[in-house]
A and B are shown apart, each in its own frame.
Chain A
Amino acid sequence: MSQILPPDVVLKVDDLSIVYRTDRGDVKATVDVSFELKSGEAMALIGESGSGKTTISLALIRKLPKNAVVTSGEIFYQRNDSVQDVLKLSNRQLREFRWNECAMVFQGAQNAFNPVLKIRKQFEDTAQSHGWTDKAAIRERALSLLQLVRLDPERVYEAYPHELSGGMKQRILLALSVLLSPQVVILDEPTTALDILTQRAIIDVLNDMQRQLNFSIIFISHDLSLAAEMADHVATVYAGQIVELGGVNDIFYHSLHPYTQGLLTSVPTLEHTQDLLQSIPGSPPNLIAPPDGCKFHPRCAFADDACKKDSPPLTVDVGAHLAACWHKDRLIESRKASV
């Protein structure tokens, strides 16, 4: 491979575009998406349902549905100075790549366990299909991970899924996801559908795990609070595009895209004063026939003729904070005026 990546980059996505072929036309679910994930870093993809967050993550492990076509782009993965293009891996290499290098915990994953197998068997199956043979070694590794996610390892390891609560299953899945020491773990809506106190336990466990095992996380969420709490970098996804990308403080305190800003002003807080909230008018576009120009323009307060004609590029203004908007200045000014 000719591609050379900086040593601390584990994953680099370049100009990725994906369409779903459907009877009604091509759904442009991912458009020119590029980003880098550094070692040990947590990155959040935030956006609403149907924005294409899950499509991006499925492409990373080549698990797209059959009607999906990658129309352009490359996904580079680096371990120990050797770089692979994930999109060019053979089936055999792909089996190695998945779970050894990159694991994914799906949305509503509490239902991911086989109900007739004990947790032990499900750990063993995963390890054995990746070449582990020593059951005692698997057990030792599994128990230490179950300990790390704050469960009673001995009890849980010999349990059937129905004996466990949703929060416990979610934690077991987190333990299972790092069984083979992957560098990247993808979490799709890791705390959705869990109760508040269970959510808190999962967040704390994830933070512990990341500190101890030092893997990188990509997590997908519509919950801004979760991103605020866990992410180092945040990418806002709208209509299949990354419209803003930056450090967590950049995004939350100095957002440069009206959509991100709109999301932030539509979320209530627990502050001791009443929030001034506002919804974003309209609804997300149809991805079969998205609007011309900036896809957010029909819902945007700053939109003018330029926005209707040309799609703004994702460009840097300060540091490593990127945003795709023609009117960043006006956004900044309006924020100053409202304070």
Chain B
Amino acid sequence: MSSPIIELKHVYRSFKSGRQIVPVLQDINISVNPLEFLCLVGESGCGKTTTGKIICDLLPPSAGMVNFEGAEIASLRGEDYRRFRRRVQIIHQDPYASLNPTQTISEMLSYPLLRHKLAPNRRGVLQRVRELLDLVDLTPVEDFIDKYPHQLSGGQRQRVSIARALTTEPSVIVADEAVSMVDVSIRIGLLQMMMDLRDRLGVTIVFITHDLALAKYFAWDGRIGVMYLGRLVEIGHTQAIIRDPQHPYTKVLLSAIPEPDPEKTRSKQHIQLRSEDIPRLTELPRGCSFHPRCPWYVDDVCDRETPELAIPLNSASDVEVACLPLQQGRELQLHDA
């Protein structure tokens, strides 16, 4: 077992909103192993994007520790920090907003190469830009190299974003909803290309999405972490979670998703929540933050203590869940009214 490339230890993050403090992340613990496919899933406001930004040090944590290759990012200085910056990159969600409209593709990809002195001279830079475009299948390269973002389609722009993330030869890429804004028919092509990059370039990809089916496809041999209101509630091997979700929130999510198969989707059992209201982050309920909505809520247990991630008692798999009744080895029973 190799040591993790990224490690988050008891990470908290809050934002100020007026006079209020909004706790966006609470006690996040994640280890990302080199070359593993890790997917963070959850609904909007669950903190998945904030987690991604913290991994890239685009946001510092309010408390806790983030390590890259065993060294705490906050303690890195000078060349060590620049190296971290080169080695960890992010791909943003919106290819229409994340590319500078006044720069050509060539300018955009040259800048990081020059900034980090990754090519010996102008010719070397151009050579590298061509290699990168080739790598993301924007070929023939001549057709793209001098274009501006507005001359490209959404899918092509996202390929440019990926090429840009690759300029500094990163070992970790955080892909934040990187294919969500791309048309269905070309989404999988992009995803397959990113999966392929892992094998060809040895890049570890942390994929952030709200789409569980996409997460399943991407991280089939990896892990999924499910987030709810700023906490990880379940994390483990993708196939185990898809086949047999443990945490009530994961169960409800999986049961709610429609599938592209008329007979299957119409015969699917949907688990009803006790309440559809999502609590505000500023007024999180006591105990487990899912308990007011949880169909299997246990009185005097779930509303007392905040559960931490752990492998449930008598569990056959190593999936960790943050659910007290499960951890105590109880059978889940539907809570009546």
Q: List the interface of chain A (C-beta within 8 A of B).
A: 48-49, 150, 165, 167, 195-201, 203-204, 222-226, 228-229, 248-249, 252-253, 262-264, 266-270, 272, 274-275, 277-281, 283-284
- Which residue from chain A places its CB closest to the CB of B211 in the assembled complex? A268
Q: Which 5 pairs across A and B sit closest by C-beta, in order of nearness? A: A279-B189, A200-B256, A225-B258, A268-B217, A195-B43
Contacts of A223 in B (CB 8 A): 258
User: Considering the complex, which residues of chain B in the window 224-263 have a beta carbon less than 8 Å from any beta carbon of chain A?
Assistant: 239, 242-243, 252-254, 256-263
Is B296 interfacial (CB 8 A cutoff)?
Answer: no
Binding site of B, secondary structure by majority: helix, strand, loop or mixed? helix
- Which residue from chain B places its CB closest to the CB of A166 in the assembled complex? B44
A to B CB contacts below 8 Å, 8 in the list: A48-B183, A165-B277, A196-B212, A197-B43, A223-B258, A253-B262, A270-B242, A272-B242
- Which residue from chain B places its CB closest to the CB of A270 in the assembled complex? B213
Contacts of B153 in A (CB 8 A): 283
Q: How far is the CB of A327 from chain B (nearest CB, A)?
A: 19
Q: Is the CB of B188 within 8 A of A197?
A: no
Q: Is the CB of B184 within 8 A of A224?
A: yes
* Interface-centre pick from A196, A204, A264 (highest chain B CB count, 10 A): A196
Given known pairs A268-B213, A268-B217, the reply for A280 and B185 (CB within 8 Å) is yes
Is B48 interfacial (CB 8 A cutoff)?
Answer: no
Contacts of B71 in A (CB 8 A): none
Given known pairs A195-B43, A195-B44, A270-B216, the reply for A203 and B183 (CB within 8 Å) is no
Q: Is the CB of A252 within 8 A of B252?
A: no
User: Considering the complex, which residues of chain B in the window 178-223 have a beta carbon less than 8 Å from any beta carbon of chain A?
Assistant: 183-190, 192, 210-214, 216-217, 220
Q: How far is the CB of B290 from chain A (nearest CB, A)?
A: 11
Contacts of A222 in B (CB 8 A): 183-184
Residue of A195, A201, A248, A280 touching B186 (CB-CB under 8 A): A280
Q: How far is the CB of A284 from chain B (nearest CB, A)?
A: 7
Q: Is the CB of A268 within 8 A of B256?
A: no
Q: Is the CB of B260 within 8 A of A267?
A: yes
CA distance A107 to B214 in the complex (A): 23
- Which residue from chain A places its CB closest to the CB of B271 in the assembled complex? A200
- Which residue from chain B places its CB closest to the CB of A283 in the assembled complex? B153
Q: How large is the interface on B (under 10, 10 to 19, 20 to 34, 35 or more residues)?
A: 35 or more
Is B114 interfacial (CB 8 A cutoff)?
Answer: no
Is B276 interfacial (CB 8 A cutoff)?
Answer: yes
- Which residue from chain B places its CB closest to the CB of A195 in the assembled complex? B43
Q: How far is the CB of A199 from chain B (nearest CB, A)?
A: 7
Is B115 interfacial (CB 8 A cutoff)?
Answer: no
Q: Is the CB of A196 within 8 A of B210?
A: yes
Q: Is the CB of A165 within 8 A of B260?
A: no
Residue of A197, A224, A248, A270 touching B252 (CB-CB under 8 A): A197
| Interface membership of chain B positions 149-188, coded 1 if the CB is closer than 8 angstroms to chain A and 0 otherwise | 0000101100000000000000000000000000111111
CA distance A224 to B216 in the complex (A): 17
Given known pairs A272-B243, A279-B192, the reply for A284 and B183 (CB within 8 Å) is yes
Q: How far is the CB of B214 from chain A (nearest CB, A)?
A: 6
Contacts of B262 in A (CB 8 A): 228-229, 248-249, 252-253
CA distance A263 to B254 in the complex (A): 22
Q: Is the CB of A270 within 8 A of B256?
A: no
Q: Is the CB of B188 within 8 A of A224?
A: no
Q: How far is the CB of B133 from chain A (nearest CB, A)?
A: 17
Q: Is the CB of A279 within 8 A of B265?
A: no
CA distance A257 to B261 in the complex (A): 17
Apart from A229-B262, A266-B188, A277-B217, what are 17 other A-B pairs with CB-CB below 8 Å?
A48-B183, A48-B185, A165-B277, A167-B276, A195-B44, A225-B257, A228-B265, A229-B266, A253-B262, A263-B185, A264-B260, A270-B212, A275-B217, A277-B192, A279-B185, A280-B185, A284-B183
CA distance A225 to B257 in the complex (A): 8
- Which residue from chain B places its CB closest to the CB of A193 in the assembled complex? B44
Is B278 interfacial (CB 8 A cutoff)?
Answer: yes
Is B63 interfacial (CB 8 A cutoff)?
Answer: no
- Which residue from chain A places its CB closest to the CB of B185 in the assembled complex? A280
Contacts of A48 in B (CB 8 A): 183-185
Q: How far is the CB of A335 from chain B (nearest CB, A)?
A: 15
Q: Is the CB of A266 within 8 A of B43?
A: no
Q: Is the CB of A204 within 8 A of B259?
A: no
Residue of B185, B189, B243, B259 touching A228 (CB-CB under 8 A): B259
Contacts of A262 in B (CB 8 A): 185
